[in-house]
Amino acid sequence: MVNSQYLRDIVEMDDMGHIACDIRMKTSAPGIFADGDIRQHSNRQLGTAVGDGITAALNAYAYLTEAAPYSKPVRST
Ligand SMILES: Cc1cc2nc3c(=O)[nH]c(=O)nc-3n(C[C@H](O)[C@H](O)[C@H](O)COP(=O)(O)OP(=O)(O)OC[C@H]3O[C@@H](n4cnc5c(N)ncnc54)[C@H](O)[C@@H]3O)c2cc1C
């Protein structure tokens, strides 16, 4: 069980407490990001947790500064 119950009424999570987030680590609550072992579908490895953290930090910065491409739809190239 993940220690995330204090967020249960704030962000979407599964029965085990893993928080749902998209590829940008964005949760169901605007401005809240989840990364590493606490998020759904994590590989639960040090390397992936670090990568998640970088992704979350960059997108949190973009969210706070209203910088693109945070709020723009993802387009395939
Ligand atoms: C025994 C063991 C061996 C492992 N071996 C490997 C390995 O060989 N290679 C590998 O890649 N990975 C390994 N892992 C997995 C790796 O440790 C994790 O994937 C990684 O640490 C996840 O990082 P994290 O930041 O998401 O979570 P964590 O490292 O768990 O950090 C979460 C932090 O949040 C704190 N915290 C929790 N709740 C709260 C709260 N309410 N308020 C404030 N702080 C809170 C915790 O105390 C903790 O310090 C191992 C894990 C374990 C348990």
What is the domain partition of the chain in residue ranges? 5-65
Instruction: Select the more confidently predicted residue: 68 or 34.
Output: 34
Mutate to test the pocket of ligand 1, among 7, 32, 37 (most ligand atoms within 8 A of CB): 37
Residue 6's identity, in one-letter code, is Y
List pLDDT tens digits, range 4-35.
Answer: 999 999 999 999 999 999 999 999 999 999 99
In 11-34, which positions are buried (b, 16+ CB within 10 angstroms) versus exposed (e)?
Answer: bebeeeebbebeebbbbeeeebbb
**Superfamily name and number for 5-65:** FAD/NAD(P)-binding domain (3.50.50.60)
Mutate to test the pocket of ligand 1, among 32, 45, 50, 55 (most ligand atoms within 8 A of CB): 45
pTM beyond 0.75: the answer is: yes
Q: Indicate whether 57 pLDDT > 60.
A: yes
